[in-house]
Structure 1
Amino acid sequence: MKVGLFVPCYVDQFYPGAAIASLQLLQKLGVDVHYPLNQTCCGQPMANSGFEHLTLGCNALFLKNFQAFDYIVSPSGSCVLHLKEHLEVPAAEQASLQMRHKIYELTEFLTDILKLEHLDASFPFRVGLHLGCHGQRGLGLAQMSEKVAPFFSKPLKLLNMIRDIQLVELDRPDECCGFGGTFCVAEEAVSVKMGKDRVADHQRQGADYITSTDMSCLMHLEGILKRNKSHIRVLHIAEILNHKDK
C-alpha cells in the first residue's frame, strides 16, 4: 500500500516531534509512506467558526496532494474527522467523496488496517490517556462510558503493547478537556475550568505523562500544566509508540 502522511498545521508549527514519530513508526512497520510537501491546513478552523466557504481552497489542495495514495494517515483525530465529514471539492465531487473513506487517524490505521498486534517499544513511566472527543465520539476510537456496550479502546490496545509502561486509571476516562478548537477562545473561562479538572484527574493518579491521539487537546492541557508548574508532561501517542530505551 502507498500511504500519504497528513500533518496538521499546528503539529507542523508547534509539535513537529509528533509528526516525525508518526513517520518513523509507519516506516518501521514497513509502510510505504510519503509526505506531500505542498500540504497545508485542512480548513477545520474556518469551518468550525462558521466560514466553511473559506475551506474550498484547502479542500482542492488536499485532494491534489493526496489523490494518488491508497490511504491517508494523520496524527490528529479532529482533523481526520473534519476531512471525513466535510471534504468536498465541487469541481471533483466524486473524487473528494471517495477520498473521505481513505482517511484514517494514526491509531485507527494501526489497529484496523495494519492489524498491529506487537510493537518493539519501551516507555517506563506512569501514563494517563486522554481520549479526545473527536476521536472517541466522532471516529469511534474507543467506547463511550455513557453507552451500555462492551468496552474497547484502540489507543489503549496499542499502549498495552509497550514494555514497562504503567497506565493509570482515571476517575473520568473520557471527559472533555475543554479545548474544542475555537470554543477555548469564545468560552475561555469554561474551557480553562474543564482543562483544570482534566489535569487534576491525572494528578490524582500520579501520572508522569498525559498522552492523546490529538495534540490540540494536549496543547490546551500543557498550558495549564505549565502555569501550575506541574511536573507532568504531555506527549503524543505516536511518540510513545515509537519510543525505545536508549
Structure 2
Amino acid sequence: MTVELFIPCFIDQLFPETAFSTVKVLEKAGCNVEYNPQQTCCGQPAYNAGFWDEAKQVGNKFLQDFPDDRMIVSPSASCTGMVKNAYNDLFTNTLVHNRCRTIQGNIHELSDFLVNVLKKDYFGAELEGRAVYHDSCSALRECHIREEPRQLLSKVGGLELVEMRHTDTCCGFGGTFAVKFEAISSAMAEQKVHHALEMEADFIISTDSSCLLHLQSYIDKQGLAIKTMHLADVLAHGWANI
C-alpha cells in the first residue's frame, strides 16, 4: 500500500526524529511512504484561537496538498482530529465539500492505521522499563483511539505497561490554553506526571508530541527521573537506527 505521510508543523520543527520513526515503522509494516514537502499545517492553531478565516486558508492548502485517492497517515491524533472534525465547520457546503469529506475518511492517526487498517501490531521493538500511556484529549475524544496504542505497546519487548490514575484527564497543554492559563496548565501537568510517578514508571508514552513537550518541560524543571516518548519512537526503538 502506498500512503501519504502528514507530518504536522509541531513535529517538523521540534521533533523531526519522530517523523523519521513514523516512516521506518510504516515501511516495516510494508507500506510505500510518499511525502509532499510542500505540506505545512492543518490550521489547528488558528482554528483553536478563533481565527476561522485564517484556519480556512491553511486548511484549504492542506486539502490541495494531499491526494484524495490514498490513505494519509499522521503521528498526531491532535492534527488528525482537526481534519476529521473541525474541517466540518470550515468546509461544509463549500466548493471543496466533497474533496474534504473524502480526505476526512482517508486520514488516520498512526496507531489507528497500523491496528485497524493494516491489522499489524508487532514490529520487533524493544524498550526496557515500565511505562504508562497518556490518553491525549484528541486521541480519545476526537479520534476515538484508546485500545490501539495499548495493543501496540503490549508487543514491545521488555516494556511493562501499567495504567495510571486518571489516564484520560487532560495534561494541561491545550495549545493556547497553556499560554492563557499558565498556572492551571502547569498544575495539570504536575498532576499527570505525579500519577505516572506513583506507578514507578520510567516512561510516559502518548500519540501527541504537544502533550509530551508540555509534560517533559515540567519533568525537566523539577529534575524528575522519568521520560516522555512518542509512540512512533517506541515502535522504532531497538531495531531502527534513530
Summarize the Cα distance change of 1:18–1:61 in structure 2 as closer, same or farther, 3 Å threshold. Answer: same
1:116 to 107, 111, 120: 120
Whether 2:24 is the aligned partner of 1:32: answer no
Q: Which amino acid aligns with 1:200?
A: H
2:187 to 190, 193, 197: 193
Instruction: Structure 1: state its 5+ residue gaps.
Output: 143-152
Structure 1 segment 75-94 matched on structure 2, within 5 A: 75-87=75-87, 88=90, 90-94=94-98
Over the matched positions of the two proteins, sequence identity in percent amounts to: 36
2:156 to 144, 150, 162: 162
CA contact (8 A) 1:2 1:69 kept: no
User: C-alpha offsets along residues 198-240 of structure 1, whole Å, 9 cap, x if unaligned?
Assistant: 0001111111111100111001001100100112111100000
- Quote how far apart the aligned CAs of 1:97 are: 1.8
Secondary structure of 1:192's aligned partner: helix
Q: Which amino acid aligns with 1:27?
A: E
- Quote how far apart the aligned CAs of 1:68 are: 5.0
TM-score under structure 2 length normalisation:
0.93
- Quote how far apart the aligned CAs of 1:35 are: 1.0
Whether 2:133 is the aligned partner of 1:129: answer yes
Paired residue total: 236
- Distance, in Å, in 2 between the alignment partners of 1:18 and 1:200 is 25
Match of 1:100 in 2: 104
- Distance, in Å, in 2 between the alignment partners of 1:72 and 1:241 is 19
- Distance, in Å, in 2 between the alignment partners of 1:231 and 1:69 is 46
Match of 1:146 in 2: none
TM-score under structure 1 length normalisation:
0.92
- Quote how far apart the aligned CAs of 1:139 are: 0.9
Match of 1:223 in 2: 217
Match of 2:6 in 1: 6
- Distance, in Å, in 1 between the alignment partners of 2:177 and 2:121 is 37
Q: What's the Cα RMSD here? A: 1.4
Secondary structure of 1:244's aligned partner: coil
CA contact (8 A) 1:3 1:73 kept: yes
- Distance, in Å, in 1 between the alignment partners of 2:102 and 2:217 is 38
CA contact (8 A) 2:139 2:145 kept: yes
Whether 2:143 is the aligned partner of 1:139: answer yes
